[in-house]
């Protein structure tokens, strides 16, 4: 699928690919979780280093259960934590910047809402996907929803249960339905 181009989400090839990648992505998450747990449990190693060895070996933590549609459209930078029960519906590009925390039960969807009821047509209608860009040093609270075509700038906090439907500017706190930028937090 290409960004901003219509596609048929229930095409036979996509359904087959979706079923295969779903199984593969769950195995990858299980392997990652197992490695992370072994590194954290090795506390005797930590005393030998000034810094924790965890940060040098594990840069992305994805808690299970985790769901994504295709997985190859997701780009994750260093030092990212994704909480349990998250859904990244990646019909097109989802980019997550470094030092980002995504809380539990967050839904990030790239499928745009239909604008005309005549185009719905159930499973036979076309869908349009638009990319989502989450920059560095962002905290997305539990149970948030981030909709298609949203850009979240650097140094942003999105409060729990917020629904993000428009771009969020840098250095601010956003909350509500729809998420509004309420105040900028002071720089230290």
- pLDDT score recorded for residue 49: 44
pLDDT digits (tens, 9 = 90+) for 18-70: 666 555 555 555 554 444 444 444 444 444 444 444 444 458 888 888 898 88
> Which of 126, 89, 86 lies closest to 106, judged by CA?
86
The CATH code of the domain at 6-183 is: 2.160.10.10
pLDDT under 70: residue ranges of the chain: 1-5, 7-12, 14-15, 17-58, 122-123, 184-188
Could you state, in order of their start, the residue ranges of all structural domains in the chain? 6-183
> Which of 89, 127, 129 lies closest to 109, judged by CA?
89
**Alpha carbon separation from 15 to 6, 8, 12, 69, 159 (Å, rounded):** 16, 10, 5, 10, 34
- pLDDT score recorded for residue 45: 43
- pLDDT score recorded for residue 52: 42
- pLDDT score recorded for residue 11: 66
85/179 Cα distance (integer angstroms): 21
């Amino acid at each position: 699928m290409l960004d901003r181009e219509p596609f048929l989400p229930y095409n036979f090839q996509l359904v087959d690919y979706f079923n295969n990648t779903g199984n593969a992505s769950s195995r990858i998450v299980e392997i990652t979780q197992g490695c992370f747990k072994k590194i954290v449990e090795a506390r005797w190693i930590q005393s030998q280093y000034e810094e924790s060895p965890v940060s040098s070996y594990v840069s992305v933590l994805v808690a299970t259960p985790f769901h994504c549609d295709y997985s190859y459209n997701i780009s994750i930078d260093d030092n990212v934590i994704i909480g349990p029960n998250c859904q990244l519906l990646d019909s097109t590009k989802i980019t997550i910047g470094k030092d980002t925390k995504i809380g539990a039960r967050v839904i990030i969807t790239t499928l745009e809402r239909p604008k005309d009821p005549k185009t719905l047509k159930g499973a036979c209608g076309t869908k349009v996907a638009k990319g989502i860009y989450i920059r560095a040093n962002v905290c997305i609270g539990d149970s948030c929803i981030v909709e298609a075509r949203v850009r979240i700038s650097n140094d942003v906090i999105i409060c729990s249960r917020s629904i993000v439907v428009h771009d969020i500017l840098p250095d601010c706190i956003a909350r509500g339905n729809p998420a509004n930028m309420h105040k900028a937090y002071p720089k230290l």
